[in-house]
A and B are shown apart, each in its own frame.
Chain A
Amino acid sequence: MFRRKPLHLQLIGAAALLTALSFFMFPVIWMFLTSFKTQDQIFSVPPVLIPPAEQWNLDNYIAILTQNNGLQGVRDTALVASVTAFISVSIGALAAYSLARFRFGGDEFSFWIISTRMFPPVASAVPLFLLFRQLGILDTHWVLIIANSVFNVPFAVWLLKGFIEDLPVELEEAALIEGATFFGAFRRITLPLIAPGLVTAFLFTFVFTWNEFMFALLMTRRAVRPMTVVISSLAGGHTILWAQIAAAGMITILPGVLVVVFLHRYLVRGLTMGALKS
């Protein structure tokens, strides 16, 4: 680790971080404050920045969860997002290993994988709807897990491929000489070393799925109600329930925050030559 960073750079760095913090946090803080407001405080002049003390209660949170399907939305989306993230990272890591270490199918194959994410989803939505209807899986968790995995596996593959390519292949070769299988070498050597990549891939596939709207809207009806659809439903023709939308927003960032809390230590573990030599 360096300690010789010039002082002026450190000062500029601190200032930059604080500026960034206010830019990125301002809308979040606004959302937090909004989640405690009443309907007439949303569009008022001058704007109500901080709601009065007696409004600091959970009414809007309770309303979204109990009256407006929020509970089902959180449950369904949490299930879909965590399974999708798990599948995407697992399948993605395996495929990434194949591409990075064996150059399976060459450049064209790896390019094809990423290209499946390029196609505008609007164009493929109706054919996909017909396909899933034939399979009889509309309005289930599986339909969303499959649809989201298709968009997230390419991301996971490419991200993890980059991480694996940066690893020296000699470590795995040493394991193979000692009698490990390819899968054994992958699991015991490669996976631990690309932990930051795995965590990043998991976090983003989770977040991408959690935030996905179009498939969630089209492919579900009643048995499954993902959170993004629940939230959109709060914007009616006559009334937009601003405070409840904000409360829902506060609720939906919780899982992402928890992922960071539990997994962040994998993001600060840099490689050491010691690890490479073992």
Chain B
Amino acid sequence: MFSSGVKQRQAAFFFALPALVLLLSVSIYPLLRTLGLAFSSLELTISPVETFVGLNNFAKAFGDMRFWNALRNTLILVTVGVAIQFVLGTVLAVLLSEIRFTRMIWLIALLLPVMIAPVVSGFQFRVIYNDTFGPLNYLIRALSGGAVAAPPWLADTRTALLTIMITDVWQWTPFMMLLMLAGLESIPVELTEAAQVDGAGYWDIFWRIKMPMLLPVIVIGLLIRVMDTFKTFDLVFLLTGGGPGSSTETIAYYTYLNGFRFFSMGYTAAIAFIQLIIIIVIARFFMIAQKRVRGGSA
């Protein structure tokens, strides 16, 4: 960080200005409008009249079993799913960082899932997971000679959410992998070499030198994945429609139903703000954790 002064403050302002203008001009109006809606009733299927209802929408959310179920499903995806993506992505990044000559091929192969639009991959997985017509259970049965009982994947309340999670892991582990790889590549080589000269072993270097250097990248990677997993919608929309039963209804899907199927704008706004608050709390937790580890200085 630079020392502070008038010139520094001016420079700081001009560097930040474009982002400031873009974000303020586009996000302030929807945010304020939605905040107003959260305390109103606006049922667009019936009429365009908006009436103030105080905290009714939040009270409704509190007693809405569907909301809590959707939140629970989402939190499972966010915690377990993102953790798997992080661990798997880190392992792959470390492995790739040691490959030089064929790295481009590996990168392309492993990054493909993230490049396929969820609209497309959703349709592929609908066939892949199908018990009757799909290749996955066909191969499981063929390769095991029928010894392994192929699960019904999306068609059973016990496996459907897990299947959504596996699909999300497939799609987004490459994201964590590339982030971690870019982080690893930014670590000055001399740092690790110096440690080697001092007699540090492989794991010492990994845990004591690399991981601390990677911390900012880890935080942003996890944060982005947590935020985006909170928005898990496409896979649910395309693969299960929230079913079987209510087993894969996520909070983003439930918000979508309220917003774009029911046009119940007040309730949509209220549950959107509840989600915002939950994500802010999680994000704050990450920030504090990062500061603790780094001793408060960049």
Contacts and interface: CB of A to CB of B under 8 A. Distances in A.
Contacts of A125: 259-260
B216 A94 contact: no
Interface stretch (B61-69, B155-163, B241-249, B273-281): B273-281
Interface in B208-231: 213, 216-217, 219-220, 223-224, 227, 230-231
B79 interface: no
B53 interface: no
A92 B20 CA distance: 10
A193 to B, nearest CB: 8
A261 interface: yes
Nearest to A256: B115
Given A24-B170, A213-B234, A264-B104, A95 B135 contact: no
A66 B173 CA distance: 34
Interface string A255-268: 01100110010011
Interface residues of A, number: 119
Q: Which of B91, B123, B138: most chain A Cβ within 10 A?
A: B123
SS class, residues of chain A in contact with chain B? helix
A65 interface: no
A223 interface: no
A27 B170 contact: yes
B111 A101 contact: no
A118 B227 contact: yes
A109 B122 CA distance: 37
Given A102-B9, A252-B117, A124 B124 contact: no
Interface string A216-233: 000000000001100110
A16 to B, nearest CB: 6
Q: Which of A49, A115, A125: most chain B Cβ within 10 A?
A: A115
Contacts of A45: 132-133
Nearest to A104: B12
Interface string A133-168: 000000000000011011001110111011101100
B182 A257 contact: no
A120 B260 CA distance: 13
A120 B116 contact: no
A109 B109 CA distance: 38
Interface in B263-283: 265, 268-269, 272, 275-276, 279-280, 283
Interface residues of B, number: 106
Nearest to B8: A102
Contacts of B92: 16-17, 20
A9 B95 CA distance: 10
Contact of B1 (A16, A34, A49, A101): A101
Interface of A: 1-2, 4-6, 9, 13, 16-17, 20-21, 23-25, 27-28, 30-31, 34, 42-47, 49, 90-92, 94-95, 97-105, 107, 109, 111, 113-128, 131, 146-147, 149-150, 153-155, 157-159, 161-163, 165-166, 169, 172-173, 182-183, 186, 193-194, 196-197, 199-200, 203-204, 207, 210-211, 213, 227-228, 231-232, 235, 240, 242, 245-246, 248-249, 252-253, 256-257, 260-261, 264, 267-273, 276
Interface of B: 1-2, 4, 8-9, 11-13, 15-16, 18-20, 22-23, 26-27, 29-31, 33-34, 88, 91-92, 95-96, 98, 100, 103-104, 106-121, 123-125, 127-128, 130, 132-135, 138, 170, 173-175, 178-179, 181-183, 185-190, 192-193, 196, 202, 205, 213, 216-217, 219-220, 223-224, 227, 230-231, 234, 252, 255-256, 259-260, 265, 268-269, 272, 275-276, 279-280, 283-284, 287, 298
28 contacts: A2-B98, A2-B192, A16-B95, A17-B92, A24-B109, A27-B128, A27-B170, A30-B124, A31-B116, A45-B132, A95-B16, A117-B227, A118-B276, A118-B283, A119-B276, A123-B30, A124-B31, A126-B259, A162-B220, A165-B216, A166-B186, A166-B216, A246-B124, A249-B116, A252-B115, A257-B108, A264-B104, A273-B190
